[in-house]
Structure formats: C-alpha cells, structure tokens
C-alpha cells in the first residue's frame, strides 16, 4: 500500500452524513438549526442531509435551499392522494422541498405496523416521484442471539428492492441500524460486527444492482457519536453515517460531519 493511501477504502464513492430529528423540532429551534448549517460553507466532501418533522420540513428546506444540505421526510404513504387520514404522500414531500425520504425505521416497523411489503410499496412510490428513499434495515437482539441476523438483513434488502430494475435499485440508499443499537436504550455496536454485517448486506446489494461497485449506498446508524464515528466511517462497506441524538444540535451535526471527513482523509497505517 502506498504511503499516501487514506482511510477511505471507497474512493470515488460519496460519503453521507445525515440525521433524522424524529419527533423533535419546534419551528424556532428548527429555523435556528437550519440557519446554522446553511452557513457551513465547506462540507469537505461529505454529502449532508437532515430529516426534520413534517411540520417544519418546508421551512427547513427553504432555509437550506441553495446549500449542499439535502432535506428529507421521515416517512410517507405509498399512494399519491386519497382517503388516508393522517398520512403524507411523495408529491406532498416534493412540494415541501424534500429530495429524500426515510423509510422503514425500526420505530415505524415496531410501533406503526410497517412491514417489508409496505416499505417496498413506498420505495416504488418515492422513486416514481423523484425522491431518494433511505431504507432502514436491522436485526433485533433476539434475531442476533438466534443467529439469524444475516438472514433477516438479506430478507429486508431483497424485499425492499423487489420489483425494481437494477437502475432503480441503484437510486435507493440503505441504512444498517441494528435495532438494539438505536436510541436511549441502545448499545453502540462493535465496529467489527458492523463490518461483518455490512459485508453481507453489500453482497445482497451488489446482487440486486447487477454489478459490484454500483450498488446502493449503505450508511450505518445506531448510537453514533463523536467518540465512535471514526471507526464506523472507516469501514470498507460503509458509505455514510445516519445519526439520531448526537446530531440533534446543529453544532453536534456539523462536528460529526467534520469528524467523518477527517477520518476519510487521514493517512491509513501501513498493513
């Protein structure tokens, strides 16, 4: 390996750092957050995105318009309009300025009955309307203890991409988020475990995309913070970080993005 090699084992592939605010962000806080990150003039090669609640999405998208930061919804319905009380459609997200949408987060699967099948319908709808779906997949602790984590992850990937052409599959993004690693009760996953799971997911993605190297981006999420971001960012099959709590302040988010960009640029030790 040459001395000038960097930690980024995936040169040429974009590296994403994004956050979902979940059910947080009243209008004043959301505006302050958006104004602060709109003022960042150099993301050092990172592709940034934020996913605020629907109620402030249009405001945040307006404030970030013209910046490098993409804006996404945290969920949507598969239909375009109709009698779906309380739901939001892909055209509605687009009208608000969203270019991305998070689908299949474990909290939605667990508390709101989201299934691999409905996630697949939503992915089709998002692509039809020009939104980039970010699909969350991950195994529970019981599935990992029962040695079926790899099977569960493969199933989630295959069902997510069901019925898509290779070109369409290449427009989908994934986030590997072990359910047991997410949120207040979450335990950060050892990077070696993430590396092993991500390699298996990558195989599925390559198969779906029809060729290695052009498969969908795979982000990692689950208790990512300033202390552990660098080892996750350096993993060969990981194309980004999807962050909750640690990015719920504009400063926290921008610092994490800087940490990721420094990790990717750092010289890699000789093997």
Q: Which residues contribute to the site for ligand PEP (CB under 6 A)?
A: 20, 105, 177, 182-183, 186, 221-224, 242-246
- Catalytic residue annotation: 105, 177
**Which residue number, 8 or 20, has a Cβ lying nearer to ligand PEP?**
20
Residue 27 CB burial class (10 angstroms; 0-12, 13-18, ≥19): exposed
**Which residue number, 162 or 248, has a Cβ lying nearer to ligand PEP?**
248
End-to-end CA distance of the chain: 8
- Residue 179 CB, shortest distance to ligand PEP, in Å, is 9
- Residue 152 CB, shortest distance to ligand PEP, in Å, is 17
**Which residue number, 164 or 257, has a Cβ lying nearer to ligand PEP?**
257
- Residue environment code for 56-65, b if the CB has 16+ CB neighbours within 10 A, otherwise e: bbbbbbebbe
The label of the residue with tokens 């079926």 reads: 148
Strands (E), 14-112: 15-20, 46-51, 70-73, 100-103
Alpha-carbon distances of 95 from 60, 98, 104, 205, rounded to whole Å: 13, 7, 22, 30
**Which residue number, 205 or 246, has a Cβ lying nearer to ligand PEP?**
246
- Residue 210 CB, shortest distance to ligand PEP, in Å, is 29
- Residue 219 CB, shortest distance to ligand PEP, in Å, is 10
- Do the Cβ atoms of 26 and 269 come closer than 8 Å? no
Residue nearest to ligand PEP (CB): 244
* The token pair that represents 244 in the structure block: 């909750």
C-alpha to C-alpha distance for 143 and 159, rounded to whole angstroms: 18
């Amino acid at each position: 390996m040459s001395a000038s090699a960097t930690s980024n084992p995936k040169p040429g592939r974009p590296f994403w750092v994004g956050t979902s605010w979940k059910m947080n962000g009243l209008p004043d806080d959301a505006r302050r957050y958006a104004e602060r990150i709109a003022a960042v003039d150099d993301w050092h090669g990172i592709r940034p995105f934020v996913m605020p609640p629907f109620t402030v999405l249009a405001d945040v998208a307006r404030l970030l318009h013209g910046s490098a930061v993409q804006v996404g919804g945290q969920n949507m319905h598969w239909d375009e309009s109709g009698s779906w009380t309380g739901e939001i459609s892909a055209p509605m997200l687009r009208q608000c300025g969203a270019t991305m949408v998070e689908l299949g987060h474990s909290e939605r699967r667990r508390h709101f009955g989201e299934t691999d099948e409905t996630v697949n319908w939503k992915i089709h709808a998002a692509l039809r309307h020009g939104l980039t779906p970010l699909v969350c997949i991950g195994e529970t602790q019981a599935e990992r203890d029962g040695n079926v984590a790899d099977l569960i992850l493969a199933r989630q990937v295959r069902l997510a991409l069901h019925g898509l052409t290779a070109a369409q599959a290449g427009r989908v993004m994934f986030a590997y988020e072990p359910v047991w690693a997410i949120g207040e009760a979450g335990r950060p996953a050892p990077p070696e475990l993430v590396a092993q799971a991500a390699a298996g997911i990558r195989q599925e993605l390559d198969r779906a995309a029809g060729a290695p190297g052009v498969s969908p981006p795979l982000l990692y999420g689950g208790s990512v913070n300033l202390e552990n971001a660098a080892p996750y960012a350096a993993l060969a099959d990981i194309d980004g970080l999807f962050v909750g709590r640690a990015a719920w302040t504009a400063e926290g988010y921008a610092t994490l993005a800087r940490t990721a960009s420094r990790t990717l640029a750092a010289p890699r030790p000789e093997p």
